[in-house]
Structure 1
């Protein structure tokens, strides 16, 4: 097992050995049942389907405008993928890593997320809903311009992310860690009660918080 540490949080990475995988060219539509496969550079735009992907690596795929529901991911790496305008509902993710993905307009609903890492991804102009997070979910160096972020954020870490323009509507946020991320310009900060931010961040969002509280700020 391999782990990554983010402050005091430890995230378990997907348990998948690339050398043991079989190169495949599945359609990723209809009934999906993919296991122990390495899928590279396929065109799957606008496909619809449901099913499961386990112990697999998906590299360089065009998954834009896909509609998947329900979808179960377990020990999966999705890297360098195009996810723009995709709609993934009723998704369960266990030990999943998204890396360097372009996901503009992606609508993602996670029923349950366990040890999920999303890093170096563009998640602008989309929506992210988290219903339940077990252990931890980490967003590392991602952008969220005008993205709606809702649900249970209590075990979520935003590390070095650009959240300017993001719109929060958290049901819970105790334990959420936002330190190191850009918060100026984010909306819905009052829903993040219990989250951790730095002193520097507190200063940068003071006016925004005051405005959301109904205060009038004047020089």
Structure 2
């Protein structure tokens, strides 16, 4: 049965007011109460790092490779995460705001209590990721790949999901509100999702295709 009731908003990250400046990330590093402000960390490659109670502002992390990373109580704003690849990693109680995330990949991992707001997340990869109690708000998610993802605790508000892939995703309880749903793939996996009435028309052609229905013009 589809889940019902209001979706709980993600818990806010607990980031202390007093933070210690940092400028690099190394393998097996544990970073607590740090601030990365205006740093050039593009192409960083690190395994088994931990960030807790940290703030990342105006920092370039594009093209980075993270393995078994654990980020908890983190705020990331006005930064570039384009083409960042994270595998077997977790993001818990995090807010990511006004960031460039084209080609961002967080596959086979976990997002819990995460808010992505006003971010460019097109061509992103969320394959086989468990996304619980998380919110995508005002994001460009064109052609994002959610294949096999667990989206039962995800909410999408005012997002552009043109061409997004949802095949094999679990979406019972997911919510989509005021979103662009043109050319969505894997629409048959959206069973149990709550879609706002103004958005459902955009799914009509995708639903017809999934059911093998030919849509013809009126004579």
- 2:117 is aligned with 1:107: no
Q: Which residue of 2 aligns with 1:10?
A: 9
Instruction: State the Cα distance separating 1:110 from its structure 2 match.
Output: 5.4
Q: Which residue of 2 aligns with 1:34?
A: 31
Instruction: State the Cα distance separating 1:129 from its structure 2 match.
Output: 2.8
Number of corresponding residues: 210
Q: Which residue of 1 aligns with 2:141?
A: 144
Q: Which residue of 2 aligns with 1:60?
A: 58
Whether the aligned pair in 1 keeps the contact of 2:9 and 2:135 (CA below 8 Å) is no
Please, which runs of 5 or more residues in structure 2 have no aligned partner?
Answer: 1-5
Q: RCO (CA 8 Å, sep 6+): is it higher in 1 or 2?
A: 2
Whether the aligned pair in 2 keeps the contact of 1:92 and 1:110 (CA below 8 Å) is no
- Which residues of 2 match residues 53-202 of structure 1 at below 5 A? 53-109=51-107, 111-134=109-132, 136-150=133-147, 151-202=149-200
Give distance in 1, aligned partners of 2:204 and 2:33. Answer: 49
**CA RMSD of superposed structures (Å):** 1.5
Give distance in 2, aligned partners of 1:32 and 1:146. Answer: 34
Give distance in 2, aligned partners of 1:98 and 1:39. Answer: 14
Instruction: State the Cα distance separating 1:130 from its structure 2 match.
Output: 4.9
Q: Which residue of 2 aligns with 1:3?
A: none
Classify 1:107/1:131 alpha carbon distance in 2 versus 1 (closer, same or farther; 3 Å): closer
> Under a length normalisation based on structure 1, what TM-score does the superposition of the two structures give?
0.90
Give distance in 1, aligned partners of 2:214 and 2:184. Answer: 18
Whether the aligned pair in 2 keeps the contact of 1:121 and 1:143 (CA below 8 Å) is yes
